[in-house]
A and B are shown apart, each in its own frame.
Chain A
Amino acid sequence: MLFFFSRSSFLFFLWMLCVLASSAAAEDLDHGKYLHTTLKSASELDYPPFAVVREDGSANGFSVDLLKAVAAAMNIPVDFSVGPWHEIKNQLTNGQIDVLPFVSYSEDRNRVFDFSASYMRLHGTIFVRDNEVSIQSEADLKQKQVIVMRGDNAHEYAVKNHLTDTLILTDTYEQALQLLSSGRHDAVLMLQLVGTQLLKKLDIQNVVSIHSFKETNLRPVGKPLSGYEQKFSFAVTEGNKELLALLNEGLAIVIANGQYNELYDKWFSPILPLPKPGWKELVKALTFIVMPILFLAAIIGLWIMKKEIARKTKHLRQEVQDRNLAEQTLQKSESKFRMLFHSAAIPMCFVKDDGSILDINSKLTQVFGYTLADIPTLDHWWEKVYPDPKYRQWVRSTWADAVTRAKTFHIDIDPVEYQMTCKNNEIRNVIISGTVLHDHFLATFVDLTERLNMEASLKQTLADLEKSNAALQQFAYVASHDLQEPLRAVVGFLQLLESRFTNHLDEKAKHYIERAVNAGTRMQSLINDLLRLSRVNTQELVLKATDLHRVVNDIAETLTSAFQEKQIQVTVSSDLPMVIVDRIQITSLFQNLMTNAVKYNENCPAVIEIGCRDTADEYIFHVKDNGIGIDPQFHERIFMIFQRLHTRQEYSGTGIGLALCQKIIDRHHGRIWLESSQNEGTTFFFTLPKQRKTK
């Protein structure tokens, strides 16, 4: 920001100078001479924004305004004419006018004019067409055609420094820039500010300053042309000290009262970028605007902060409460977990991925004997639980596989069976499985030892039972067989005695023998019935399709010969089915029921009716008689072994028959019951399922 910087620092210096100069001049100079005469001045045609011409032909521009302001400050009227620069310059030299508002200082000119304190310092630059690349500095101008305004400082500068061999002169810079823009000649040497202003005014797009190539147009970055720095002042005719003093004093006033700045802003702000405030302005602004604002802001800020702190405090308090609650919940759930862990009925241990065993539950200690102190890490665990190195190796690799699989597929650890060595060196068969939790795993142990022991003992019990069952079967068989042999000997020899010695025996002896023989016979049938009952209990069923019609008819025939003294009428329904049963047992069943039907029957003829009906899943058979009937109170009791309702004198029997029937029906998955009352006959019912149930 070259111009701005130049102005601010330069103005301060200038102001001091003016004050000193004017106070010095005030003593020996009478400035009253100009009090009532009008100052004659002139302005050039086109040097914006310093000197421009209004449409009505009157002078205008920064320098014109400044001179007017300075003159007004000193209470001197001023009048402007307008003309080309070289003409008005001559007018001043000749004394035709009093003052020129805008003259660049040079030593040559200083010999002709007297200069006021300079109020502006500007730098020169080289303007080229924007496609020009061969001109980077003033050294490049030698072979080029360079345009300057006739008599301008640039003209003097170019001649003095021999910048170029071909110097083109124009009357105005407007002409110069238009020539350059239209492609003629190579460069224009002039003040950068003036050139920029003119380009804007003429709307010339293809001409730029060499100092703006790299930056913006108005920000020359390169070093300004050395020596082509112009200080602008008011100029008066040589020797007119009196006017010079007045102008200097006026300048000081204008600068001091801010008018200079107003004018500067008026003429330069449209063409300059907004200046950065200087540190002074900053301090000022800071003091009068920013500070109160800051103060206010601080108060508001404090208030807001206070509120915010209160809000934050409340929020934090809530957060602390929440956290406490969460911690409590966590603690609760942790203690719940711990409780579950320790009260679990199966051994468990909690292991971190780094191999440290965090906890084991009491059941683990109880089953395997180890405490956490025995096995603080997995390494300890492997060593103690699997003392055989080869087996340990196998366990470690299979377990690692199981854990890896669980982690990969996000599943539980597959159960694997191992043989663990307890603290007391006992070996236990255990299924180990578990769950992976983040960087932990929970291993669970199912102790198979108890189960295996139980299985073994169950197997043993079963074998024992089978053995004892077989023994029982054998016993029943042997008992019946071997009991009968002596029985037959007793009965046989008694009868032999009776027949061989019949002449030696009296009636009483013969009666005793008869009683003994009868008892023996009864004992034989008792033995036979017991044997049958034991067989029904123990023997494997031989299931075959059996024609019940035939079974019943066969029995009916034997009945007739068994009860020759009785008249029997048997009716067998023709629709008795074929069923899959144990033929021998079912025969025994019908035999018992039909025999009972005749035995416990006083009617003549004894009528027996056998029939069947079927439901969806079973056959219901009945054996009906017209016998003595059974009191309902005994309906259940009669199926129990050795339960008899009559004396042997009334009806013979062992009390086993119906117990045997019940057993046979049980083994065939059926039911047996009866309908009867005293003297009204009896009907036994039993069922046989249509589908054999598999065991």
Chain B
Amino acid sequence: MTDNNSISPAQVLLVEDNIDDVELTLEALKDSKVRMDVHVVSDGIAAMKFLRRQGEYANKPRPDLILLDLNLPLMDGREVLKTVRNDPDLTDLPVVVLTTSQSEEDVCKAYKLHANCYISKPVDFKQFSEIVKQIEGFWFQLVKLPRRSE
């Protein structure tokens, strides 16, 4: 990815219905060293449409990473995760579950549905900012992601 860094920004899909969270996440990502385009959808159905580039999302790029909240309207994060993993075109997409829930049950369920990692959002913005930075560093600088198909 670092190779492509200069060529095109990393594509991130943030699936989050709470606009406060969206803004705080975007604020945290502002300080990022990595160039990235953050696309935001606020429910599970929109997320799937985005991923499959349907309707209004027809021209949107395929994301390199999904930041997925669990509790979403219309179709919740667990359903999205399950659908993504069962879709041959999407199954290799890295999904980071980023949620308020600290429930042990949610954690287990997420990993069972093959989430790549589960992160509990802290109340403290400084901590949150730090976490976001680490995500960014980990996924876009450290690990090698599958090549984008387009």
Contact = CB atoms under 8 A, between A and B. Distances in A.
Q: Do these two chains interact?
A: yes
Interface of A: 477, 480-482, 484-489, 491-496, 499, 517, 520-521, 524, 528, 531, 535, 584
Contact of B121 (A477, A488, A528): A488
Contacts of A493: 20, 24, 125
Contacts of B21: 485, 488-489
* Top 9 A-B pairs, shortest CB-CB distance: A489-B20, A495-B125, A492-B125, A492-B24, A524-B123, A484-B100, A491-B123, A488-B123, A485-B18
Interface residues of B, number: 18
A143 B27 CA distance: 175
Contacts, number: 58
A535 B101 CA distance: 13
B139 interface: no
15 contacts: A481-B100, A484-B100, A485-B21, A488-B21, A491-B124, A491-B125, A492-B24, A492-B128, A493-B20, A493-B24, A495-B125, A499-B125, A499-B126, A521-B123, A521-B124
Interface of B: 18, 20-21, 24, 27, 71, 100-104, 121-126, 128
B27 A484 contact: no
Contacts of B101: 477, 480-481
A473 to B, nearest CB: 11
A499 B21 CA distance: 17
Contacts of A531: 102-103
Nearest to A525: B123
A531 to B, nearest CB: 7
A520 B71 contact: no
Given A488-B122, A489-B24, A531-B103, 12 more contacts: A481-B101, A485-B21, A486-B20, A487-B123, A488-B20, A491-B123, A492-B123, A493-B20, A493-B24, A499-B125, A531-B102, A584-B104
Contacts of A481: 71, 100-101
Contacts of A494: 125
Given A481-B71, A524-B123, A531-B103, A496 B27 contact: yes
Contacts of A480: 101
B20 A492 contact: yes
Contacts of A517: 124
Nearest to B102: A528
A477 B121 CA distance: 16
Contacts of B27: 496
A494 B24 CA distance: 11
Nearest to B127: A495
A485 B100 CA distance: 7
B46 to A, nearest CB: 19
Contacts of A482: 71
Contacts of A524: 123
Given A492-B20, A493-B24, A477 B103 contact: yes
